[in-house]
A and B are shown apart, each in its own frame.
Chain A
Amino acid sequence: MRRLLFILPLLTLALMAGFFAWSLTSGRDPASIGSVVVGRPAPKLDLPALRPGEPPLTDESLRTGKPVIVNFFASWCTPCLAEHPLFTRLREREGATIVGIAWKNKRDDATAWLKKLGDPFKLAGLDLDGKTGLDWGLSGVPETYLIDGAGIVRRHYRGPITERDLNETILPFLKGAVK
């Protein structure tokens, strides 16, 4: 019995180390929060157009039969600035369909921001009160969703997308490799 007590620290360590090894080999990303929308049809969309003279953004805008990227952004958000060139590249080089939604942003600020940095969005909506963001399970901006041709959300990125996201998941998705 007394002996067992002295072995206890070693056993505790073994248990912890087992978890650590499991964690290191599982390939999980501790930063990912998980998303309620992945694997389901894209949440409802009914927003006024951001740019004057364009049709409003509706559910139909996403059901094109082709993959669509939806990006929530705001002119006041610095990380959005960081990921912006990647969207420009996706649009110009890959011809991706990107839908932008300005979140809790004044129309003039958002359009001026896009004018200054370049506008990669095929369609753009304005979510002034942030309600659509709530439906989409948004926790802040920027966040990005990949939606397949059938209108199902396949991936959800919280925070700015990176070069690595682009190469490892977004490009394969656009080419139909990720289901």
Chain B
Amino acid sequence: MIPELGHFALILALAVALVQGTLPLVGASRGDLRLMALGRTAALTQAFLVLLAFGALTQAYVTSDFSVLNVVDNSHSAKPLLYKISGVWGNHEGSMLLWALILALFGAAVAIFGNNLPDTLRSRVLAIQALIGVGFLAFLLFTSNPFQRVFPAPPDGNGLNPLLQDPGLAFHPPLLYLGYVGFSVTYAFAIAALLEGRVDAAWARWVRPWALAAWCFLTLGIALGSWWAYYILGWGGFWFWDPVENASLMPWLAGTALLHSAIVVEKRDALKSWTVLLALLAFSLSLLGTFLVRSGVLTSVHAFAQDPARGMFILAFLLFVTGGGLALYAWRAPQLQGGGLFQPVSREGALILNNLLLCTLAATVLLGTLYPLFLDLLTGNKVSVGPPFFNATFVPLCAPLFAALCVGPFLGWKRAELWPALMRLRIALVVSLAAIVVAMTMIDSRSTLAALAFGFGVWLIVGSLASLSDRVRSGTLRTIPRSTLGMVISHAALGVVVLGSVATSSWNTELMHTMKPGDRVDFAGYSVLLERMDEVRGPNYIAERATLNVSVGGKPYTVLQPERRLFTVQRRQVAETAIQTNLLRDFYATLGEGNPQQGWVIRLYLNPLAPWIWLGAALCALGGFVSLSDRRLRIGAPSRKPALQPAE
């Protein structure tokens, strides 16, 4: 009964979305207030209905209702409750429902928090949101119904993909979707602006919080995914340039560019059509990512059930949304007139450089991801584009970006001098040069590039904090606008990420050793003893567990217990790494294949600064949230008054 209610709620939601996607648009063009007001009610109703459907599916998972096909395929009664719940979105249908839910919730958020928006703009934004929702709800109902029943109901389910049975993975998709779908709001704002033919400072101020919120969630989602890959795949790496990782990185890069260019629109009334394009692209790239993952045109570790028919539907939808948006852009954007003039060396100039580099990065990732597909189709050659390509293209492009990042905030609007800005950064410059020298002489003299990259990390941190130095001196640190504080935090956090990734990938130590219980091995100053091997039973798996006693200079230091879990229902093995961290480095151990006669393969890694990668990413998102709490964004009344924030 409850699954049918869920199904019914979903159908009703589609009907409401159709109303929400059409009538307010008509109202906005005719100036009919009653039709426009419909948008708000419809957005709230639609969110309620999709929430009901999602609740119904969750109920089926929690109670292990095996008369629902989706539950049979992806759950099992022996699964812990957390994974029963995360199983809801650990599959194609459920994750699409989560997507539709978040979309509807964002629509409701616009309806609730959009009081300060002009009626026409708000109703247009809500209508565009609803039209996107129509696509997803129709996709769910017509090709991927999560409420499909099965008769007779089997006694138990097939279980969730063991790789997904992990706390990190339980929250990775919701966060990622909050990011992807959050950009639907900026997309809707862009379309509404093109329809109205008006992009101004007020528009930019309304768009920015939504872009910022989406960006924060996407940052967290990507970081969580990378952290998961780090500790569960057991390869010691944290980013693999897998097509699906790339799919999430592209909207992040476009979204980052959007955050920065929207500032120029807000403060200087320039870069209008470019900002609108970025708002369209951030969401389009999110959809492209979905298409690449779900359609099966590329292979990846994230294999959802892949089906060409679904692929065609998503492609058609992608074409409709992106193509429609870009066509409207080609038609209306040339009429957007920019006002502000500025010199190349200025805050605007620095932000343009930032945008150019970020978009080049996004294009590079796009090319590297799609090149194998294009080449295969055109010539039949199979190639795989992996880390060497991205290391040779992506990383060098980061250098000018990072170099300019610290200088930009010191440049004034319209026209600025480079030299005074650099003088104010002289301490940061000296400190980072010193860091390069230290890295080259004391850590690793072979890798000049790693030392340089390390220096860039230090530069980002010290250079970002340098912009606070004046306020510290004048004692006005407390009155700093939240948006400036957020910027400093995020910029410095990027430096933390850079330090973590450079140190982990360049200066790590690893050892692969076959050991039997009682064997001892020396590793990077530690002595590691394989004390014993145990067989342990989890709720739905059996595992081999190694107990490694790590000691330094004869004194016990820590105990690591890596496992290999065999999930009994799916007969699939998953490595559970053991990580001991002191926040400066990770001691990382994984257990490989083995048997009592020949011993087990044990891999040990010492990853310096590895925790900083995720710590930095979390800080980066925190900076975004701090900026989001700025008064200016909450009090969104359009004003032409000079900005509160001094242009420093």
Interface residues of A, Cβ cutoff 8 Å to B: 2-3, 6-7, 9-10, 13-14, 16-17, 19-28, 30-34, 76, 78, 82
Question: What's the least CB distance linking B257 to chain A, in Å?
Answer: 14
Question: What's the least CB distance linking A75 to chain B, in Å?
Answer: 10
Q: Which residue of B lies closest to A20 (CB)?
A: B315
Which listed residue, B311, B319, B323, B571, touches A82 by the CB 8 Å rule?
B571
Q: Are B573 and A78 in touch, CB under 8 angstroms? A: yes
Q: Are B311 and A24 in touch, CB under 8 angstroms? A: yes
Separation of A6 and B335 alpha carbons in the complex (Å): 11
Which listed residue, A2, A13, A26, touches B334 by the CB 8 Å rule?
A2
Q: Are B329 and A10 in touch, CB under 8 angstroms? A: yes
User: Secondary structure at chain A's binding surface: helix, strand, loop or mixed?
Assistant: helix
Residues of A within 8 A of B296 (CB): 30
Residues of A within 8 A of B573 (CB): 78
B403 close to chain A: CB less than 8 A: no
Separation of A69 and B277 alpha carbons in the complex (Å): 56
For the complex with contacts A30-B297, A78-B573, 7 further pairs of A-B residues with Cβ separation under 8 Å are A2-B334, A20-B311, A23-B373, A23-B377, A24-B297, A24-B308, A31-B299
Q: Are A9 and B277 in touch, CB under 8 angstroms? A: yes
Q: Which residue of A lies closest to B306 (CB)?
A: A30
Q: Are B323 and A17 in touch, CB under 8 angstroms? A: yes
With contacts A6-B334, A10-B323 known, is A20 near B329, CB below 8 A? no
User: Could you tell me which residues of chain B, from 624 to 638, have a CB within 8 Å of some CB in chain A?
Assistant: none
Which listed residue, A14, A16, A24, A33, touches B295 by the CB 8 Å rule?
A24
B196 close to chain A: CB less than 8 A: no
Q: Which residue of B lies closest to A77 (CB)?
A: B593
Separation of A17 and B382 alpha carbons in the complex (Å): 20
Which listed residue, B273, B295, B311, B370, touches A6 by the CB 8 Å rule?
B273
Separation of A2 and B277 alpha carbons in the complex (Å): 15
Q: Are B382 and A34 in touch, CB under 8 angstroms? A: yes
B326 close to chain A: CB less than 8 A: yes
B333 close to chain A: CB less than 8 A: yes
Interface size class of B (residues with CB under 8 A): 35 or more
Q: List 10 A-B contacts (CB under 8 A).
A: A6-B329, A6-B334, A7-B330, A14-B323, A16-B370, A20-B295, A20-B311, A24-B297, A26-B377, A30-B373
B470 close to chain A: CB less than 8 A: no
Residues of A within 8 A of B319 (CB): 13, 17
B459 close to chain A: CB less than 8 A: no
Residues of B within 8 A of A10 (CB): 323, 326-327, 329-330
User: Could you tell me which residues of chain B, from 309 to 339, have a CB within 8 Å of some CB in chain A?
Assistant: 311-312, 315, 318-319, 322-323, 326-327, 329-330, 333-334
Q: Which residue of A lies closest to B326 (CB)?
A: A10
Question: What's the least CB distance linking A63 to chain B, in Å?
Answer: 30
Q: Are B291 and A30 in touch, CB under 8 angstroms? A: no
7 A-B pairs with least C-beta separation: A10-B326, A7-B330, A30-B299, A6-B330, A23-B297, A9-B326, A31-B299
Question: What's the least CB distance linking A117 to chain B, in Å?
Answer: 13
Which listed residue, B326, B327, B373, B380, touches A19 by the CB 8 Å rule?
B373
Residues of B within 8 A of A3 (CB): 330, 334
Question: What's the least CB distance linking B290 to chain A, in Å?
Answer: 12
Question: What's the least CB distance linking A4 to chain B, in Å?
Answer: 9
Q: Are A33 and B297 in touch, CB under 8 angstroms? A: no
Question: What's the least CB distance linking B194 to chain A, in Å?
Answer: 11
User: Could you tell me which residues of chain B, from 372 to 396, have a CB within 8 Å of some CB in chain A?
Assistant: 373-374, 376-377, 380, 382
Separation of A6 and B276 alpha carbons in the complex (Å): 11
Question: What's the least CB distance linking A178 to chain B, in Å?
Answer: 20
Q: Are B295 and A30 in touch, CB under 8 angstroms? A: no
Residues of A within 8 A of B326 (CB): 9-10, 13
Q: Which residue of B lies closest to A82 (CB)?
A: B571
